Amino acid sequence: MVPSARLHLLPAARYGLAAGLMLVVLAAVAAAEAPVDRNDQFTAYIGTNAFQFSPLHPGGLGQVRLFTVLSHPDAARDRDFGRTFWRLRITGPGASEQMVRYARGAVWLDDQGAAYAEFYWDGRDTEGNLVPAGEYRYTFQARFVSNRLKLAQRPAIARMTAGYDDIEAEPDVEEAFASTGRVVVNYGLDEEGAAYNRESRVGGACALQQNTPLASGFGYNFYYGSTHSHSNYSDGGQDPGNCASGNANGSGAFGPDQVYDYARNAAGMDYWIITDHNHLFEEAVTTSNPPLTEAKVKQRYAYGLAAAASATVDGTFVALWGQEFGVLTNSDQGHVIVIESPKLFGWDSCSSCTGSTPECSAGSNCYFDVYVPKRYAYLTLYARSVQYPSAAGALGILCHPDSGHFDGFAYNADADAAMQGIAVRSGLAFSTSVYCDDANVGSSDYFARWMTALNKGFHVAPTAEQDSHCNNHGVAVPTRTVYLIPNSLAPVLTRANLMNAHKARHFFATEDPNLQLIFGTADNSHIMGDIFTAGTSVDLRVAALDPDGESTYAIEIWRGQIGGGVLTSAYKSYSSQSAVTLTDAPGTGTWYYFVHVTQADGHDAYSAPMWITFGGTPPPTYSIAGNAGAAGAAVTAGGVSATADASGNYTLAGLAAGTYTVTPSKSGCTFTPATLSVTVGPSATGKNFTAACGGGDTALTSGVTLSGQSVAKSAWKYYFITVPAGATQLVLKTTGASADVDIYSKYNAKPTSSSYDCRPYSSSGNETCTHANPSAGTWWLGVYGYAAGTFAVTGTVTAGGTTYSIAGSTGTAGATVTAGGATAVSDASGNYTLAGLAAGTYTVTPSKSGCTFTPATLSVTVGPNATGKNFTAACGGGDTALASGVTLSGQSVAQGAWKYYFITVPAGASALEFKTTGASGDVDIYSKYSTKPTSSSYDCRPYTSSGNETCTHANPSAGTWWLGVYGYAAASFAVTATVAGGTAETELLANVGFESITASTNSAPDGSWVRSAYTGSSFNVLVANGAYPHAGSDHAYLGVSNSSSQTLDSKAVTIPAGATAATLSFWLSVVTSETGSTAYDKLLVQLVNGSGAVVATLATLSNLDKTAGAGTYALKSYNAIAYKGQTVKVRFKATNGSSYATTFRVDDVSLKSR
């Protein structure tokens, strides 16, 4: 007997939809009659209780249960519990489209907008014959007919025997988003294996993740969570006992703080991202905190950012905040996640909502920070995401995509820069399960839409989104999006590191909650998400590892080209292997590769692609250059950033052909125009802005009165103040005026007598302008001398709560510092202040082209203010740092090549001199402040034929100065930089980069370094012309073998007794064979006296400080001022344990005093 389909309503406890009737006020029902935007899709979520089965097994083991959850949230909201007509098609085996089984039925939606259907398949076809072994695909499709249609007039629908196919031609029928799943008929499967796979499919939802890699030596940890969820700030945050899509927006009891708490402490997630609907904030406010005001909406979005920062605990849990933009009313629309933007995008209030300008009244009913039209404007959304990015750049995901969404997957450079992810799994959005072993409900499959996006040119990686609306985040659905973060970082899990991983597309999607998926090049130089150039071939590596020991059913490697067609089948397939390698040589061009893994229990996982350009000439890149109008301005376009030099000039390099939105920014500055749309291919120049940065104008600090101000008759004097997001009031006023002066205020531009936002225009001279809920940004105050007079001026900002600041030094001038949406640029001495911050924990991140910062980020909690949050900056990368007065010998440059050096000049220096000496051929020197010189951009170029050249700069600006040596002919030379005056540091060590040696040795010829002791294997610890120096050609090499030790000492030096600062720094690379979390192999950093006795151990480093590879170095820096007046040697002592070995590479050692 062939089993028939079973139809029944969805049991609440097991399948995650709330039970019980929902109470709705009549007003809400009436409102539903009016046309409203659709916010959810009618979706056929699918699932099965087994992936592999044998029809020969007895009882339930010989069958597989195929089911669908038919979810229509909009119907629940509209109280329209109509009928769904569904059908099931089973095709196969393999890629065959031959239908082997068919079922259909009809079922009414329940009061939660959901219905359930299932079919038990026994492995037989429509004739009752057993099907051949192999893989079969099953697809549930469904059509919905509104309960409001008069069924008596629609006999085809009214018949209880009607099916999916019968109503195809009927009007007003809504099609569900359909998904396809797989099952395997395996006659060789034994009963024990069949039972185990079923238990694994259910019980695996409760599996705990392991962050450290199961693969020995893999340089990344794995962090599990979801990129898509909702709180009561829109339509989520509902109690699972009464959670339904028909509930009023904002009626949930759980806000952002509670959502993060549940995800971390109840579900055990490593990270969690809340992405509330951008257009439902106002409805949520109306429900939970009436009356609705524009300020309340903006404050809620700002609070979400602060809540995420506050919920983050470095090393333990990361919380991020975002918004889900868009509606699903029309087939060209869609939902897009924007993560950690400081601005809320939107369009309400409006009628058409599609124009280029908002239809609302600012300060009254504009429920957004930045206007983006509701329809036909996804490219505008991407441009705004790039314009208002997170601290890691624009971050985004395309949600539950359908074929025409996002304006037909409209694509340009901004789209590529703004979007890094796309959902391949999503939902069940309103699952009410609170137990992990109830969680394996099934989800919807968007794999085909990912293929569409890749073919369009999007560089997007897959996400497995929970889209959870009930407060069961991380429990209700077992799917995870998993981020890979370098485990050389300390701590590894931070907001900055997670956002950087997203920006780099270092993530994968999995239905198994603890799978570790590795995909990259065999040499580990690239991993999933990377874009790079190879030779004629590439060696790829795949590994699917599960802490629970689950086996792998299949690994597929997919390969395609942008514009080469939408992929429908894998390039290579491997059965029953958990790890594979592949060498591929597809020919000249750019190809993308990704991996699809299926576990034995049927759980799927998808890696981010790698985009690889093979052979030939790499695709050309272009640049955008111009003047930002202000030194130190940050300029961005398509994910590329640059900092304007001292003259305001900038260059954005490495851009693919396309159209970009170029955006300058600098605290206290207003730019005209605010952005430029620039098309490159060829490169573009002359893209200039003007900046109003105060100049001779005066910055105001909130609440601080500036006395002794004056203005001449008929003249203007200008002031400006930066207002943070969420401020409730701005007051600008003059007091103590000696005559009639008039004030004018204006947002984002200097006011004039005809253009202003406020003008009291009294005759007293003491005037006040008050602005309620002022826009975030720069506000200007102009004081006009109707008569000449003196006065005092005050600007006071009232924040939505008390605000605080973070201050410190970046270690270099002109660095951009960000934290929680606030931005500052360090001054000539490297100092910065981030102001207007709400209480909470922030990740402070400095950046500057050509510079490396230590630490890379700082986690800082404010409330009260935080000071002394300092960084050190190495602004050379692979280039060479110069110490004042210290000559570097043995330098060389090839013909037609460049070699770069840099030096930090302190404030107050009277002169800077660069020179080359002892040149064996014609080398030319070029010097420049703040950026590397080129043959066409420099501050000094002697241009002689001798090779021995000098550049002298009087009263040089404080900051980083660069020297470029160009090989007009190949030559060797020595280079020296000398700073006069100021508070320059003095280098105490000789041969800081070990460059005085000409051959590998244990004793430098100049006596600067010597191996003073060793045990075990003997080898030269000073390596000449080694493969992995930090800079130059030489470095020190310690550890290396197990059961060994080496001690390397510098020549004795004296730290001056009058020194005010002394710092030991060096660059360190650590490569280890050790695994686990025990420090077996150690490097001691010490100061010793002339007899070798230890004065101080400044640090104990170990195999736990491993870097990403032999050529990857980290800067280490230690305070030595406590030992001023003493004569000491710097000592490095490496000791390896008996089992495995660690290699410590040391380079560019510096002991400086001031």
Q: What pLDDT digit, counting tens, does each position of 797-826 carry?
A: 876 666 778 888 887 766 778 776 677 777
**More confident: 582 or 860:** 582
SS3 for 1018?
A: coil
**More confident: 9 or 427:** 427
- What's the token pair of residue 271? 């990270």
What is 5-203's CATH topology?
Immunoglobulin-like (2.60.40)
- Residue in this structure with the two tokens 């100065």, named with its chain if needed: 961
Whether pLDDT at 5 is above 50: no
385-389, 501-505, 617-621: the lowest-pLDDT one? 617-621
Class of the CATH-defined domain 803-874: mainly beta
- What's the token pair of residue 658? 């396309």
E strands in 608-667: 610-614, 622-627, 634-637, 640-643, 649-655, 658-665
pLDDT value for 453: 96
- What's the token pair of residue 929? 């402040």
pLDDT value for 35: 47
- CA–CA dist 277, 231 (Å, integer): 10
pLDDT value for 99: 93
Superfamily per CATH, domain 622-692: Carboxypeptidase-like, regulatory domain (2.60.40.1120)
Q: What pLDDT digit, counting tens, does each position of 734-757 carry?
A: 999 999 999 999 998 889 999 999
- CA–CA dist 884, 892 (Å, integer): 20
Helix, strand, coil percent values for the chain (each to nearest 5): 10, 40, 45
Whether pLDDT at 1080 is above 80: yes
pLDDT value for 153: 55
- Residue in this structure with the two tokens 């249960």, named with its chain if needed: 65
500-514, 558-572, 596-610, 1056-1070: the lowest-pLDDT one? 1056-1070
**What is the CATH code of the structural domain delimited by 880-984?**
2.60.120.380
Average pLDDT over residues 780-788: 93
The backbone region for 224, taken as left when phi is positive above 0, alpha when psi lies in -120 to 50, beta otherwise, is beta
* Residues 891, 963 contacting (CB under 8 angstroms): no
* Residues 757, 751 contacting (CB under 8 angstroms): yes
Whether pLDDT at 31 is above 60: no
pLDDT value for 271: 97
Delimiting residues of CATH 3.20.20.140 domain(s) in the chain: 222-513
- What's the token pair of residue 942? 């002697």
The backbone region for 334, taken as left when phi is positive above 0, alpha when psi lies in -120 to 50, beta otherwise, is left
Whether pLDDT at 21 is above 80: no
Q: What pLDDT digit, counting tens, does each position of 294-344 carry?
A: 999 999 999 999 999 999 999 999 999 999 999 988 889 999 999 999 999
Nearest alpha carbon to residue 272 among 321, 305, 310: 321
Distance of CA 549 to the CA centre of its chain: 31
Class of the CATH-defined domain 698-798: mainly beta
Average pLDDT over residues 1111-1136: 86
* Residues 612, 534 contacting (CB under 8 angstroms): yes
Q: What pLDDT digit, counting tens, does each position of 1087-1120 carry?
A: 999 888 888 888 889 988 888 777 788 878 787 8
Nearest alpha carbon to residue 496 among 867, 874, 818, 849: 818
Sort 129 into a burial class: Cβ within 10 Å, 0-12 / 13-18 / 19+.
Answer: exposed
Nearest alpha carbon to residue 1021 among 1047, 1042, 993, 1041: 1047
Delimiting residues of CATH 2.60.40.380 domain(s) in the chain: 5-203
What's the mean pLDDT when you consider all of the chain?
A: 84
SS3 for 175?
A: strand
Whether pLDDT at 17 is above 60: no
What is 222-513's CATH topology?
TIM Barrel (3.20.20)
Average pLDDT over residues 162-189: 82
- Residue in this structure with the two tokens 């106002």, named with its chain if needed: 282
- CA–CA dist 619, 957 (Å, integer): 39
33-42, 836-845, 846-855: the lowest-pLDDT one? 33-42
**More confident: 377 or 873:** 377
Delimiting residues of CATH 2.60.120.380 domain(s) in the chain: 698-798, 880-984
SS3 for 437?
A: helix
Please tell me the total number of residues recorded for the chain in this structure: 1154
Beta bridge partners of 671: 691
- Residue in this structure with the two tokens 């060209």, named with its chain if needed: 332
Q: What pLDDT digit, counting tens, does each position of 392-418 carry?
A: 899 999 999 988 899 999 999 999 999
- CA–CA dist 844, 597 (Å, integer): 38
Nearest alpha carbon to residue 279 among 361, 342, 353: 353
What are the φ/ψ torsions at residue 499 (nearest 5 degrees)?
A: -65, -35
Whether pLDDT at 621 is above 70: yes
Delimiting residues of CATH 2.60.40.1120 domain(s) in the chain: 622-692
Q: Three-state SS across 200-257?
A: HHHHHHHCCCCCCCCCCCCCEEEEEEECCECCCCCCCCECHHHCCCCCCCCCCCCCHH
Q: What pLDDT digit, counting tens, does each position of 93-116 carry?
A: 988 889 999 998 888 887 777 888
Q: What angle do CA 958, 962, 1005 make, to 5 degrees?
A: 110
Nearest alpha carbon to residue 619 among 656, 674, 579: 656
CA atoms within 13 A of residue 1124's CA, in its CB half-sphere: 14
- Among 3.30.300.30, 3.40.50.1820, 3.60.15.10, 2.60.120.200, name the CATH number for the domain at 1009-1153: 2.60.120.200
1052: number of Cβ within 10 Å:
12
- CA–CA dist 636, 14 (Å, integer): 50
- Share of residues in the chain with pLDDT > 70 (%): 90
- CA–CA dist 751, 522 (Å, integer): 61
Highest mean pLDDT out of 141-150, 151-160, 670-679 = 670-679
